Structure 1
Amino acid sequence: MQAESVSSRMDRLPISPVHRKAMFLIGIGMFFDLYDIFLSGTLGSVLTKQFHVSSAQLPLLLGSSFLGMFIGSIVLNNLADRVGRKKAFMINLGIYSIFTFLGAFSPNATLLILFRFLAGLGLGAELPLSDTYLSELLPAKNRGRYIAWAYTFGFLGVPCIGFLARGLVPMQPMGFDGWRWLFVIGAIGAVIIWLLRGSLPESPRWLESVGRVQEAHQLVDQFEKNNRLTSSGASRASAVSETHRATSVPTRLLFSPTYRKRTVMLWIFQILQTIGYYGFGSLVPIVLGQKGYTIVSSLEFTALTFIGYPIGSFLSLFVIERIDRKWLIVFSALGMAVFGLLFGYSTSENSIVLFGFLYTLISNVFSNGLHTYQAEIFPTSIRATAAGTAYSLSRLTSGLMPLVMLPVLKNYGATSMFGVVAAAMVLIMLDIGILGPRTTGRSLEAVNQPGEADSAASGTSRSL
């Protein structure tokens, strides 16, 4: 009697303490990842004054970590498909914590730029690897909601960095510049998460995909035992017809006729989304400075608008399994375009905080949709590589973005800059709306079985 696949056994598991622990530890790891991503923008104006950074150096200071993320996302996510999700997690957190700690002691802008770049190598793998791991561990019916929960924990790091910067930057605790403490906090947090994640299980789907089938089944046996479930021979035999055995799939499958459309769609999306998402988070303190506010005032307004990130992530919990992921991304991109333009037009303090808050709120509905979505539309054997390669393009765009957006802001003002953001969001709506497959509530294997990709990309889905 043929054994049931690991994937089908994983999909029929109820949510258990194993799932909740993984969701929490991945979410807290994201906390320090997102804390650091928004750190550069928050401190941009401060470090310009601290190190007397020239206008030519500022884009490099803001973009150095993103350029490191570009390389790290490709290399470490590819490594995750070869050595496993868990080992890759340990490597990326180790790299990040070491170089972030060294960054706190940078004596000049040049060394800070170097350490930010090297920290970015580890940082770049965290989010797509987290998406991949959770999508493989969680059952289909709960996948979106629990990934959204992880990001809700993670995005608490964004207002946290905002308020910490507001409180610490003007101070020198123990004779050490306040902004340097922000790096120390990030590094120590990453070390703690590194220790805690050692207790996480490897992805059974990944184990199955690389031929370690017995090990994968033994791990799922333990999950079922913890949930007081059993997998009889009869249930395994009946389920095998609904799934297919995982096989080793070469990376070139990304460009095969089956998945080429998805690859192009996701690459276009990742290049454009960072203009709207990280364009706001990285540049808003500088935008407020251009509007005439002081460093302290701009940090205060930034912290207030950043509250929208965890609130938006929390609100996504109520819609991420009700609206298909592709349309959730499309509708939230429209909201970002509208609120971005209104923020650019704003001149009063109340309207700046209001539209900044609404922008960050809707952008995290957008973000949770995209992070769940990108890990659903490729097979297990190349899932981390596919998500990491596409995500690396967003990091490259983020690194190069200051070279384009700062001149637009300087020469044409905030309204024109957010006009560029709105145009990028409209292109995303067309890209995902036309080319994106439906995924919500479907097993990863059904979404990615041969012949399904092309039909799904047209906006229709095969009945299961």
Structure 2
Amino acid sequence: MTPVSTTMSSSAEMISARLERLPMSRWHIKARVAVGAVTFFDGFDQLMIAYSLPVLIPKWNLTPASVAWVIAIGGIGMLVGALGGGWLADRMGRLNVIIVSLALYAVMSLGMAFTDSLMLFLVFRFVQGIGLGAEVPVAATYIGEITKAHKRGRFVLLYEVIFPIGLVASAIVSAWVVPRFGYQILFALGAIPILLLPALFRLPESPRWLAARGRLDDADAAMRRIETEISGRHGELPEPRPIVSAVAVDTSRGRFIEAFQGVYLRRTLMLAAIWGSAYFVNYGIASWLPTLYRTVFEVSVDTALHYSIFTTVAGLVGCLAVAFLIDNLGRRICITSSMVLCAALLFLLAGTGTGSAVTVLLWSAGAALFVFAVNMALYVYTAELYPTRMRAIGCAIGGAAGRLGIIVGPLVLGGILDAGGTLTLVFGLFGLVALIGAIVVGLFATETREKTLEEISQ
């Protein structure tokens, strides 16, 4: 390995340069798999409630309004988790928050499996939501910080694809487990991620975060661990080359208010709009689809759950597509065009496709393909728009806006149905929200393709 002197390694700028010169390696894949496995179970746990509702509705005699709140209570917890997790991650470290979040949502899933009380179920679901809401944006922050600028979008999004894979797995497992063994077994499976804790404890903390906190010795030690493993397989590493145009990395403590000041104000407002609109559409539809198939079109529980698998698989295809396109087309084009196409399909669904379960399935699956792609792209894009000292805070604000969409979307759909509204009105409204998100990104987004995190933050 090329030696890095104490002098060279004694600044945050040099820590960044040392990360940027690393070749993509087995170490990067190992970190992506370990953190990705946590995110997989986050996705698995997040939609289990949707696939359990066809059974929970008769169990507790739930009305459309109460169904909406059963869905939304988890979203409220996710909102709290996203804000609190981001704040803690910028103070306590990325991995510490990921580990605590994992333990929290796994234990709460077990609690949901073993209670027959609706009130306790909702309490467990809320607390589980805190863990789910904190984990994903902080994990995306960690993966983004250990990755260099070149092809960063593809690398991070191929990691993020594990989240929709978790959604697909949740749909498949639910379709088999719930009709045969009941929802309790499904939630019990949500405790499995506890087994991932040893792998997380073996990962080094983000060197960029350590350096931004002024912990340069710890950052250097973390870098040496990474460099030693990579050089053992790739041979001598090139000399780190700091970016000449980069300003000194600010090692002061990040504050929430800074996300609404200076150059970050426009970025934060744009991100809040697109996160909120994308998740309003995505979760509002996805969380209700199994119930709509069951109650509006009167299909069997088996059929409703199998239809939901098709929608989540379509979403996974969209995530894979954007992972391979985002570094070539850029963030703004990918996000804007995906939201426009999602809106177009939802308008077509509202106008022509609400007459049968099959037509709803086909049009909603097409819309899911594009909105899932946006959801994935936002994780890499949001982490790029803020400096290291406040990156998790920026991701937390974006994630919180998404969680607000998760809360409001199901409530709006439930309210429309409770008031006797039609599916045409429901899907037309979701199409309008998707179009608004596309316009905001198209007009106000900043392109970040192929730039280092330090360059973007200037």
What's the offset of the Cα at 1:337? 1.1
Q: C-alpha offsets along residues 36-72 of structure 1, whole Å, 9 cap, x if unaligned?
A: 2211222223211122223442222111111111111
What's the offset of the Cα at 1:99? 1.0
Q: Does residue 1:167 correspond to 2:180, yes or no? A: no
Residues 45-60 of structure 1 mapped to structure 2, 5 A cutoff: 45-60=54-69
Mapped to 2, the partners of 1:216 and 1:441 lie a distance apart of 24
The corresponding residue for 2:217 is 214
The corresponding residue for 1:153 is 162
Residues 43-442 of structure 1 mapped to structure 2, 5 A cutoff: 43-172=52-181, 178-188=182-192, 190-228=193-231, 235-236=239-240, 239=242, 241-247=244-250, 248-251=252-255, 252-288=257-293, 289-344=295-350, 345-346=352-353, 347-348=355-356, 350-410=358-418, 411-442=420-451
The corresponding residue for 2:4 is none
What's the offset of the Cα at 1:296? 2.8
What's the offset of the Cα at 1:394? 1.9
| SS, match of residue 62 in structure 2 | coil
Q: C-alpha offsets along residues 336-383 of structure 1, whole Å, 9 cap, x if unaligned?
A: 112223344423454344323322222222222111111110010111
Unaligned runs of 5+ in 1: 173-177, 450-464
| Preserved contact between residue 140 and residue 441 of structure 1 (Cα < 8 Å) | yes
Give the letter aligned to residue 271 of structure 1. Answer: G
Give the letter aligned to residue 366 of structure 2. Answer: L
| SS, match of residue 242 in structure 2 | helix
TM-score by length of 2: 0.91
Mapped to 1, the partners of 2:392 and 2:77 lie a distance apart of 18
Mapped to 1, the partners of 2:448 and 2:417 lie a distance apart of 38
Give the letter aligned to residue 313 of structure 1. Answer: C
| Preserved contact between residue 164 and residue 312 of structure 2 (Cα < 8 Å) | no
RMSD: 2.0
What's the offset of the Cα at 1:447? 0.5
What's the offset of the Cα at 1:110? 1.4
Q: 1:369 to 1:306 in 2, by over 3 A?
A: same
Mapped to 1, the partners of 2:451 and 2:213 lie a distance apart of 23
Mapped to 1, the partners of 2:357 and 2:269 lie a distance apart of 41
Q: Does residue 1:444 correspond to 2:453, yes or no? A: yes
Tell me how many residue pairs correspond in the alignment. 440
Mapped to 2, the partners of 1:353 and 1:421 lie a distance apart of 15
Give the letter aligned to residue 174 of structure 2. Answer: A
Give the letter aligned to residue 427 of structure 1. Answer: I
What's the offset of the Cα at 1:334? 1.1
Mapped to 2, the partners of 1:272 and 1:112 lie a distance apart of 28
Give the letter aligned to residue 286 of structure 1. Answer: T
What's the offset of the Cα at 1:6? 1.0
Mapped to 2, the partners of 1:350 and 1:45 lie a distance apart of 18
Residues 7-46 of structure 1 mapped to structure 2, 5 A cutoff: 7-46=16-55
| SS, match of residue 157 in structure 2 | helix
TM-score by length of 1: 0.90
Q: 1:135 to 1:366 in 2, by over 3 A?
A: same
What's the offset of the Cα at 1:216? 1.2
| SS, match of residue 386 in structure 2 | coil
Give the letter aligned to residue 328 of structure 2. Answer: R
Unaligned runs of 5+ in 2: 1-6
Mapped to 1, the partners of 2:63 and 2:376 lie a distance apart of 36
Give the letter aligned to residue 187 of structure 2. Answer: F
Mapped to 2, the partners of 1:367 and 1:206 lie a distance apart of 25
